[in-house]
Amino acid sequence: MKIVVMIPTYNEVSNIEKVICNVLKSVPNAQVIVVDDMSPDGTYKVVEKLASQNSKVHLLLRKEKRGRGYAGKDGFVKALDSNADFIVEMDGDGSHDPKYISEFLKVIKDCDVVIGSRYIDCGKDEERTLLRKLVSKFSRLYISTILGVDIKDPSSGYRMFKKDALKKFVYELRASDPFIVAEIIYQLKKKNLKVKESPITFLKRFSGESKLRPITLIKYLFKVLKLKISGR
């Protein structure tokens, strides 16, 4: 059973080593693929060094078309090419605690995809200010209503996929940016995949800045509507 943890990074130099170590402590038999877009802060250099010391750590360095969406898709394809049975995606900023991966592995026995959810019983969101919480609540309701899915945390970027489930849609992903998270939710419904949510506590990023800007969020909401209308 091969588990691959895929982590997209952009300017996470102060976080990535701790994140990788925590993953390997929680799931010692996992492989880690960090997908970095030539971060100006040199995140990839840290990963390169770790990869040279530990065969479980891999770097996918992207040099063109920077973006969370492109990076996520390339990372998934690399994970599938490496014959992974279970693929986890998580952020490289410390907000997703890898201790939940072992629970996801239990839950996924009975479904195709597990979403680490902040908004079901026992889930928690430690991070946000009141404004971020309200914005987040509105976007969650918006995404699940427009896309017609009964998922309490459709904007969670912490998820586990069975390889056959991921193969069904990964080549159809088009998003360049964080919209890939919603695009996948839409694909899960379209491909009739069985989804379960498992509670997580979303933590404050270890350090550094969020890359999510208000304009990205507004574009995101428009794209959800466009996706629904186009039926792609």
Ligand X SMILES: Nc1nc2c(ncn2[C@@H]2O[C@H](COP(=O)(O)OP(=O)(O)OP(=O)(O)O)[C@@H](O)[C@H]2O)c(=O)[nH]1
**Looking at beta carbons only, is 98 or 168 nearer to ligand X?**
98
Task: Give the interface with Mg ion as residue ranges (CB under 5 A).
Answer: 91, 93, 95
Residue 12 burial (CB count, 10 A): 29
Of 157, 143, 149, the C-alpha closest to 194 is 149
Indicate which of ligand X, Mg ion, none lies near residue 140 (CB less than 5 to 8 Å, by partner kind): none
**Looking at beta carbons only, is 68 or 162 nearer to ligand X?**
68
User: Edge-to-edge strand order for the sheet containing 86-89?
Assistant: 57-61, 30-36, 3-9, 86-89, 159-162, 113-117, 195-199
Indicate which of Mg ion, ligand X, none lies near residue 197 (CB less than 5 to 8 Å, by partner kind): none
Which residues neighbour 32 within 8 Å (Cβ) at sequence distance 6 or greater?
4, 5, 7, 20, 23, 24, 56, 57, 58
- DSSP helix/strand/coil, 193: coil
Indicate which of Mg ion, ligand X, none lies near residue 92 (CB less than 5 to 8 Å, by partner kind): ligand X
**Looking at beta carbons only, is 95 or 198 nearer to Mg ion?**
95
Task: Give the interface with ligand X as residue ranges (CB under 6 A).
Answer: 8-10, 12, 35-37, 66-68, 71, 91-93, 95, 157, 178, 205, 210-212
Indicate which of ligand X, Mg ion, none lies near residue 134 (CB less than 5 to 8 Å, by partner kind): none
Which residue's beta carbon is nearest to the bound ligand X?
210
- Closest contact distance (angstroms) between CB of 129 and ligand X is 11
Indicate which of ligand X, Mg ion, none lies near residue 66 (CB less than 5 to 8 Å, by partner kind): ligand X
As given in the structure block, the two tokens for residue 224 are 């959800």
**Looking at beta carbons only, is 36 or 197 nearer to ligand X?**
36
Question: Is the Cα dihedral 100, 111, 85, 95 positive or negative?
Answer: negative
Of 188, 178, 187, 163, the C-alpha closest to 221 is 178
